[in-house]
Amino acid sequence: MLLSEQAYTKIDKELAKYPADQRSSAIMSSLRIAQEEHGWLSSDLVAEVARYIGVEPIAVQEVATFYNMFEMKPVGKFKVTVCTNLPCALRDGVKTAEYIKEKLGIGFNETTPDGAITLKEGECMGACGDSPVLLVNNHHMCVRMSQEKIDEMLADLIKEAKA
């Protein structure tokens, strides 16, 4: 068993939402649960999700590699994703990304040496009017991020990663 009992229980709740012949509908939520527990999706974990749901491993692999919310390699404790799509780029999204790269000393798809933060470039997050927009660990959206707010957020994340 690669997942905790709690994770399997959560997956069972997701599976219960769908008819028995549509178990593949729970792939995304099951991958999310697995990634939340492990931080990323190893090939063994992808295979375990497929086995548990009762679908072919390739079906799970296709979903895991298609969506940018899923990580197929280890990432830092915190993943910071910066939206750089055109609307956000026009409202300092790219400048924000460059500022964070400079502050952390890393580029996109890199992790700080202490393993605290991985920086990612993201697609539209649906908050163009509130740009610059950042997403932390796929769940916490940060909007209208000034350099001061970014400095505070990064300091908090680094402090929490060390705790």
Summarised one tens digit per residue, pLDDT across range 24-74 is 999 999 999 999 999 999 999 999 999 999 999 999 999 999 998 999 999
Share of the chain above pLDDT 90, in %: 91
Provide the pLDDT for residue 108.
97
Q: What value does the mean pLDDT take over residues 9-30? A: 97
> Distance between CA 39 and CA 71 in Å, rounded?
8
Q: At residue 86, what is the residue type? A: L
Q: Which residue bears the tokens 């009992």?
A: 5
Q: What value does the mean pLDDT take over residues 145-150? A: 96
Superfamily of domain 5-66: NADH-quinone oxidoreductase subunit E (1.10.10.1590)
Please name every residue paired with 81 in a beta bridge, in sequence order, or none if there are none. Answer: 120, 135
What Rg, from alpha-carbon coordinates, does the chain have?
17
- Answer whether residue 1 shows pLDDT above 90: no
CATH of domain 78-162: 3.40.30.10
pLDDT in tens, 79-97: 999 999 999 989 999 999 9
CATH 1.10.10.1590 in the chain: give the residue spans.
Answer: 5-66
CATH 3.40.30.10 in the chain: give the residue spans.
Answer: 78-162
